Structure 1
Amino acid sequence: MLIQQIFTEKIAHSSYILAGDKTCAIIDPRRDINIYLEITRELGVKITHILETHLHADFISGHIDLAKRTGAPIYAPGKANCDFEHTALSEGDSVDIEDIRLNIIETPGHTPEHISYVVTDTSRGKKPIAVFCGDTMFVGDVGRPDLFPGKAEQLASKLYDTLNGKLLNLPEFCEIYPAHGAGSLCGRAMASKRSSTMGYERKYNYALLIDDRKEFIESLTNNMPSAPDHFSRCTEINRKGPELLKELHIPEALNNATFKNKMKDAIVLDVRSFESFGGQHIPDSYNIDINSNFPTYAGWLLSPDKNILLVSENYSQAFDACQQLHRVGLDKVEGYLEEGLYGWVTEGFAAKHVPQISAPELNDRVHKGRKTTIVDVREASEYEDYHIEGAVNIPVHELRGRYNELDPEAETVLICGSGQRSGMGCSLLLQHGFQKVMNAAGGMRGYAAAGFGQECPMCVLPWAPFKNK
């Protein structure tokens, strides 16, 4: 038996190849499936099973594409009521792959329909060796139960029963393979390690150490991170079965005149760095830095119903952005600006800019009496850890509706962890007529490094969901 994990950065998603000698299963596949075809070809095994643990909220699954390419059947939770052809699984069912037996247990809590696959290598023993637990349990955390409006407490109670009545009954040596790692918003406090054992989690996972049901429910239904807009969309797309990638429109290389003409009915998305966007950008465009948690914020901020026009440094960056947009169900990528911003401005088309101010410049504004509105666009939990005195906290995704709490005539400086989220925020305010918008380049990380404040704990972690964003 071989288990190979495929970790997809930014959405922090783990999918798996579970292989025998000649055949294998793909568990919780991502949408762009070529990686599974390449690895299984190298391993010399045939994909014969496609297994889903639940209806994923944060990304579009590759089950339909993979089934079309390989002919392998899809297995999914019966309670998901999926519209596509599949084998519906429920408690007590099993799936065999050569000497590998997967027993299905229903593990609701993160979602109502969730199942887990308990793996036994029958060639070696009778006890479970591993569990593919989807988003029920993570390394250092458990799945958040608050993604369904009005059902958070009910699902948290079910999660308590799932963990204590089922998963924690597995042997201590049983390996845990979750569908996400640190950086995902499907949980709150995932560790950076990407797999674990039941015994270790039983001893050190904070959520599993909460014995009281009421305390457990309160812990998992209060002070949770915000849930991006695309979470509910992706769930339904995965239930119905997403459109095949090969049937999507191939983004065109557009000259300046054609690009401008198409802008009337489309979103212009500038994926360059926040510094580049600050230098020159197309008026009313969004800036979501490709180096940030790009797919999450794109799914959060952009409408899935509008065409998207990309501004990038080059074709390669545009292709990368397109692939990441498809992962979160933003499929209407119409084209990209062929000659980039250099070609745009050298042909005389209009552009705007956002001043980028350094930590010392910001500190001067804070302490020398210059009338400046500072907007901290980090999450509330980050803001509470430490913030500049007098800064207003409006998380970047909330600026879409709360921009009217700010004075569009005032000098306004946006700050986040490093400049990426605040760059997004600047692009949002500019769309609403703000004229004196500046970005604090370096963010709270730079502000602390210059000796003006405390270090932001989340900004410096290499795997954090908001690191460098």
Structure 2
Amino acid sequence: MVVQQFFIPGIAHSSYLIGAEQTCAIVDPARDVGRYIDAASDLGLAITHILETHLHADFVSGHLDLAEATGARIYAPKAGACAFAHEPVAEGAQFSIGGIRMDVLDTPGHTPEGVTYVATDLSRGNEPFAIFPGDTLFVGDVGRPDLFPGRAQELAAHLHENLHTKILALPDHCMVFPAHGAGSLCGRSMGSMRFSTIGYERRYNTPLTIADREEFIHSLTEDMPPAPDHFARCSEINRQGPAQVSTLPVIRGMKPAEFRRHAEQDDTIVVSIRNYATFGGQHIPGSYHIDLAGNFSTFAGWVLPPDKDILLVTDSPAQAREAVTMLRRVGLDRTIGYLEGGTHAWVMAGYPTDHVHQLSPEETHAMILEGRATLVDVRTPEEYAEDHVEGAINIMAMDLRTRYTDLAPDQPVIMMCRTGHRSSLACSILKQKGFSEVYNAAGGITGYRAAGYS
């Protein structure tokens, strides 16, 4: 018997291979499915099952691509009413993967249709050794129930019941393999450990220690972190069945003239994925900036319109291909090209560029002290409440798409986040809205505090 975890940073997604004898299943696969095929091959196992715990809101699943590549059957929650060929499963369903018995529990709460797969290794005994709860239970947290408008109270109540009557009824030694870890927005405060046990979570998981139903509901429906835009569309993409990756556009390099012709179309956007200092030095006017070194997939899914073709400005063709994979994870499937030669080739062709001045901590402090600019802290309200520079106003970077009207476009503004990544995204949004004097606090509040400024 073997369990292998696959972790994707940024979206903090965990998927799994579980197998015995000559067969295996993949649980909650990502869209780039080659990793699973290679791992199964290395282990000498055939992928025969694909298990979906729920309709994921934060990423587009690879179930159809993996089924096409392997011939494996997809198992998905019956309550999800999925539109693709699959085996619908619900409470009481049971099937085998080699010598492993899988039992299904209905565990709605994070989503209306969620299930948990309970694994028992029959070669060793009749007690379950692991669960795959999807987003029902995390290490140190539980799935947020507030992603469906008007249903947060109802789903939180279901979550409380299912956790206490089903999940916590399992033996303490039973391992927990969740679909996410620290960094995911599918919960409030997940731990950095990527797996746990029922016994450990029973003792140390804060939401699980709240026995009172009403208190539990209140704790999960008030002051929750904001949910990215793509959360509202990925669930339906996964229910209908995503477009298979083999059918999507193949990105190609474009010379500056061709790139410019495409960029001028109303159905096309330009996204720079280079580091924020390089973007600040020179970029194509009107482009978005999402630093590939930051939480790229999440921020892209949050702010980029899904109905537009995407052109990339990158440091290399390899970086462009990496970005395409990360964009597809959040359902952005229309990346058609990248600028050959980058901005150097662009200016050599005589085309215009724009700039965002990057401020050192010392320069940032001087401008604040002299009252020469409005300081905008573009982090979450929770981060802002924990620590912020006195006088800073709090508008999340992603909210500036609409809340730019809270600021004066003809007045200097400094964008600040934790490190400089989100604030550069904020700068690019304000530039699109016609702001003329936009500054990025390089190093963010981390660098500002490290320089000794309070």
1:343-422 equivalences in 2 (<5 Å) = 343-367=345-369, 369-422=370-423
TM-score of the two chains, using structure 1 as the length reference: 0.96
AA in 2 matched with 1:144:
R
Amino acid in the other structure paired with 2:354? K
Alignment of 1:178-193 (within 5 A): 178-193=178-193
* SS at structure 2 position matched to 1:178: coil
Counterpart code for 2:425: M
In the TM superposition, residue 366 of structure 1 has moved relative to its aligned partner by 2.0
Cα shift at 1:334 = 1.0
- How far apart, CA to CA, are the structure 2 residues paired with 1:166 and 1:56? 21
Partner of 1:130: 130
Distance in structure 2 (CA, Å) of the matches to 1:49 and 1:387: 49
1:283 aligns with 2:297: no
TM superposition outliers: structure 1 runs of 4+ over 6 Å: none
Q: 1:378 Cα deviation (Å)?
A: 0.2
2:307 matched to which residue of 1? 305
- Of 342, 345, 349, the residue aligned with 2:344 is 342
Q: How does 1:173-212 map to 2 (within 5 A)?
A: 173-212=173-212
Residue 459 of structure 1 corresponds to none
> Which residue of 2 is the match for residue 464 of structure 1?
none
Name the CA distance, whole Å, in 1 between partners of 2:312 and 2:227. 25
Gaps of 5+ in 1: 454-469
1:370-398 alpha-carbon deviations (Å, 9 max, x no partner): 33100110000000111111111000110
Taking the aligned partners of 1:172 and 1:290, their CA distance within structure 2 comes to 40
Matches within 5 A, 1:50-449: 50-265=50-265, 266-367=268-369, 369-449=370-450
Partner of 2:23: 23
Partner of 1:137, secondary structure, is: coil
1:353-372: per-residue Cα shift (whole Å, max 9, x none)? 100001111111222x2331
Letter in 2 for 1:303: P
Please list the CA deviations of residues 139-160 of structure 1 after superposition, one character each: whole Å capped at 9, or x if unmatched.
0000000000010111001000
Give the SS at the match of 1:356: strand
Shift of 1:291: 0.4
Q: CA offsets, 1:115-150, max 9 Å, x none?
A: 000111111111111000000000000000000001
Question: Counterpart of 2:215 in structure 1: which amino acid?
Answer: E
SS at the partner of 2:405? helix
Q: Counterpart of 2:108 in 1: which secondary structure?
A: coil
**CA displacement 1:223-270 (0-9 Å, x = unmatched):** 111100001211000000001101101012100000000012211000
Give the alignment of 1:4-23 within 5 angstroms.
Answer: 4-23=4-23
One-letter code aligned to 1:346: M
Aligned residue identity for 1:306:
K
- Encode CA deviations 1:174-232: one digit per residue, 9 max, x unaligned: 00000000010000100000000000000000000111111101100111111000012
Q: Find the aligned partners of 1:326 and 1:23 in 2 and give their Cα distance.
A: 29
RMSD over aligned CA atoms reads: 0.6
Q: Distance in 2 between matches of 1:276 and 1:224?
A: 34
Q: Distance in 2 between matches of 1:370 and 1:92?
A: 66
- Structure 1 Cα separation of the partners of residues 310 and 246 of structure 2: 18
Counterpart residue type for residue 436 of structure 1: E
C-alpha separation between the residues in 2 aligned to 1:106 and 1:211?
20
Name the CA distance, whole Å, in 1 between partners of 2:154 and 2:233: 22
Aligned to 1:456: none
Question: TM-score, normalized by length of structure 2?
Answer: 0.99
CA distance in 1, matches of 2:2, 2:99: 12
State how far apart, in whole Å, the 2-side matches of 1:322 and 1:88 are. 32
Tell me how many residue pairs correspond in the alignment. Answer: 452
What is the SS of the residue equivalent to 2:336? strand
Verify the 8 A CA contact 2:314 2:320 in the aligned structure 1: yes
The 1-side partners of 2:231 and 2:99 are apart by 37
Q: Work out the percentage of aligned pairs sharing the same amino acid.
A: 53
Residue aligned with 2:271, SS: strand
Deviations 1:37-81 (A, max 9, x none): 101010000000000000001001000000001111100000000
CA displacement at 1:106 relative to structure 2: 0.2
Q: Could you tell me which runs of 5 or more consecutive residues in structure 2 were left unpaired when the two chains were aligned.
A: none
Correspondence for 2:3: 3
CA distance in 2, matches of 1:46, 1:295: 30
Which residue type is aligned with residue 25 of structure 2? A
Give the conservation status (yes or no) of the 8 Å contact 2:21–2:99: no
Local SS of the residue matching 1:142: coil
Q: In structure 2, how many angstroms separate the alpha carbons of the residues matched to 1:349 and 1:268?
A: 15
Query: What is the distance in 1 between the residues matched to 2:51 and 2:158?
Result: 23
Q: CA deviation at 1:329?
A: 0.4
Equivalents in 2 of 1:345, 1:98: separation in Å? 60
Measure, in 1, the Cα distance between the counterparts of 2:92 and 2:249: 42
Which amino acid is 2:280 matched to? G
